[in-house]
Amino acid sequence: MVHMQSLNHTPQGFHSAPFAELQQSFPSQIQIISPFVDRLMQFILHFRPEDGSEIDIETAVREAVANAMVHGNGENPSKRVYVECRCYTDREVSITVRDEGTGFDTSAVPDPTTPESRLCEHGRGIYLMKTLMDEISFDESGTLVHMRKKSNVGPDAQRRAA
């Protein structure tokens, strides 16, 4: 099933705060999404106090993983989804989801709020991720999505709210 691979407490990249890291990969099987997200949220809450943004993070991760499985990997169980989550000591969460698909043109995704798209059955995942997270970006031709969520408590949250 899903296996926790590593915890790391060293700073890396542009972010100066230490972090705890979880890296996981799993086959593209829809039934894995809920158990994985439940475990990921437990990991996040272990390193980051509740601040009301948990449902935003959970929903965005569900959408990102489902998109990777369904659209990226075509629900092919021999293709894997890779997730990396970092919980920084300043309460920021960084999540990266990568699939083994061919990618897509992120600018070609229609806006689901337009009248012609409102009744479509698909196309809301990226919109939800952009709405719920503080930052979202795509790399590697759309096979990798990076999302960040800052804490809703503390001095940074007060500055963002002002």
Query: pLDDT tens digit string along 9-68?
Result: 333 445 778 899 999 999 999 999 999 999 999 999 999 889 999 999 999 999 999 999
Q: What is the pLDDT of residue 3?
A: 34
Name the fold adopted by 19-161. Answer: Heat Shock Protein 90 (3.30.565)
Q: What is the pLDDT of residue 109?
A: 79
The whole-number average pLDDT for the span 135-152 is 92
Reply yes or no on whether the pLDDT at 156 is more than 80.
no
Helices and strands: H and E segment counts in the chain = 4, 5
Contact 75, 59 (CB under 8 A): no
Burial label for 4, CB within 10 Å (0-12, 13-18, 19+), is exposed
Q: What is the pLDDT of residue 8?
A: 41
pLDDT tens digit sequence for 116-142 = 767 676 678 899 999 999 999 999 788
d(Cα 155, Cα 48) in Å, to the nearest integer?
15
Q: What is the pLDDT of residue 49?
A: 87
Q: What is the pLDDT of residue 155?
A: 56
What are the residue ranges spanned by the domains of the chain? 19-161
- pTM across the whole model: 0.83
